């Protein structure tokens, strides 16, 4: 085995382990915390976690086997089933990210009417669309025998038809599929999160004005306190930009190389190096390992739930045990905003 193949194998092992552990942890938090289950975004996160777990347990191990053995993993029918799942789960997870971005945009731009605009029924309808959208492309590919083992990616995934006519149809299918998934989701993420960032910066400016007015009035304030206030202003402005960059950046970095390779592959006769194909596929897989941290585990509510679970396992009482459950929704959410510095605050009943 060459050094590049060994490095790619280790990368896949790390991605599989991190993805399985982190997504299982998100699922445990969802089942443990009733407050998370009540929130509308929880449905989108649950669907995203479900897709990531299945992808980590089905497609990723077979790609690892393909890299290690440089051979077809399993029988033809088995590979077709895995290829079907790979197409369905990847498309579904992308659309779930778009749904989460729209939810956060509505929560920030229309905070007072959020609960009338985004209800559980609306979330269920959105999830139904993601499943229908994903199934439609997956079923078409399976019916036309466009799923199987692809040597370039060492994976059971979409692959070219043999006949010239089939190749033309496959090229049209591939371009349409990536346009209505990757490109569409990219546009939705950029539009919604940039609007969220605009609102966040507006509120940061308002807070900065109030802070500066207060510092001017407090003439006897110690210089170190004044300096800390100014540093907090700077951190507040950077925090919103960093969060939005993470949402958009992880999606673009993980999926762009794979999608571009897929499109270019249709129109060139010279084959790509397999190591490049596997690397692109691994980057796409890595999004399943990033999502639990980007959308869930780094948020205060999930960190608090993890802490409560650990304390319960160790049979220790939580420092905020009974008081936490007695607080109403507004106070809980306010604490989450203060500790997390989130801009996507949503009102509660």
Task: List pLDDT tens digits, range 145-173.
Answer: 899 899 899 999 998 765 556 788 899 99
What is the per-residue pLDDT across 292-321, written as a single tens digit (0 to 9) for each? 999 999 888 999 999 999 888 887 655 544
Q: Is residue 65 part of a domain?
A: yes
pLDDT at 59: 93
CATH code (residue 16): 1.20.1070.10
Encode pLDDT of 257-276 as tens digits: 999 999 999 888 888 889 99
CB of 266 within 8 A of CB of 178? no
> Does residue 112 lie in a domain region?
yes
Cα–Cα distance list, 215 to 173, 207, 220, 253 (Å): 61, 12, 9, 42
The pLDDT value given to residue 1? 60
Q: Report how far residue 341's alpha carbon sits from residue 327's, in angstroms, rounded to the nearest whole number.
A: 20
Q: What is the domain count for the chain?
A: 1
Assess if residue 325 is contained within a domain: no
| The model's pTM | 0.82
327 falls within a domain:
no
Give which of 170, 4, 156 is closest to 89, Cα–Cα.
Answer: 156
- How sure is the predictor about 179, in pLDDT bands with cuts at 50, 70 and 90? very high
Q: Which domain holds residue 116?
A: 3-306
Q: How confident is the model at residue 160, as a pLDDT?
A: 78
Q: Which residue has the higher pLDDT, 210 or 77?
A: 77
Report the percent of the chain where pLDDT is more than 90. Answer: 52
What sign does the CA torsion over 63, 69, 74, 75 have? positive
């Amino acid at each position: 085995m060459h050094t590049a193949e060994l490095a790619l194998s280790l990368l896949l092992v790390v991605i599989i382990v991190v993805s399985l552990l982190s997504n299982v942890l998100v699922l445990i938090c969802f089942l443990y915390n009733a407050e998370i289950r009540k929130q509308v975004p929880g449905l989108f996160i649950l669907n995203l976690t479900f897709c990531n777990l299945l992808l980590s347990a089905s497609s990723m191990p077979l790609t690892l086997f393909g890299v290690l053995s440089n051979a077809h993993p399993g029988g033809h029918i088995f590979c077709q089933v895995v290829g079907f799942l790979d197409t369905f789960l990847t498309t579904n997870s992308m659309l779930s990210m778009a749904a989460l971005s729209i939810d956060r945009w509505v929560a920030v731009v229309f905070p007072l009417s959020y609960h009338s605009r985004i209800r559980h029924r609306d979330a269920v309808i959105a999830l139904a669309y993601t499943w229908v959208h994903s199934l439609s492309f997956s079923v078409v590919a399976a019916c036309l025998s466009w799923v199987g083992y692809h040597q370039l990616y060492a994976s059971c995934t979409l692959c070219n038809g043999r006949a010239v006519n089939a190749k033309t149809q496959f090229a049209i299918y591939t371009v349409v599929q990536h346009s209505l998934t990757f490109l569409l989701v990219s546009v939705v993420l950029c539009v919604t999160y940039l609007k969220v960032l605009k609102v966040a910066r507006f509120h940061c400016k308002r807070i900065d004005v109030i802070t500066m007015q207060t510092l001017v009035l407090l003439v006897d304030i110690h210089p170190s306190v004044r300096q800390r206030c100014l540093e907090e202003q700077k951190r507040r402005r950077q925090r919103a930009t960093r969060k939005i960059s993470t949402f958009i950046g992880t999606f673009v970095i993980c999926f762009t190389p794979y999608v571009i390779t897929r499109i270019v592959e249709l129109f060139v006769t010279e084959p790509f190096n397999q190591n490049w194909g596997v690397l692109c596929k691994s980057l796409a897989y890595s999004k399943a390992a990033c999502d639990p941290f980007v959308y869930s585990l780094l948020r205060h509510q999930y960190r608090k739930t993890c802490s409560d679970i650990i304390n319960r396992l160790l049979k220790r009482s939580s420092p905020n045990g009974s008081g936490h459950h007695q607080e109403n929704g507004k106070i809980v959410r306010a604490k989450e905003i203060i500790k997390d510095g989130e801009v996507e605050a949503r009102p509660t009943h």
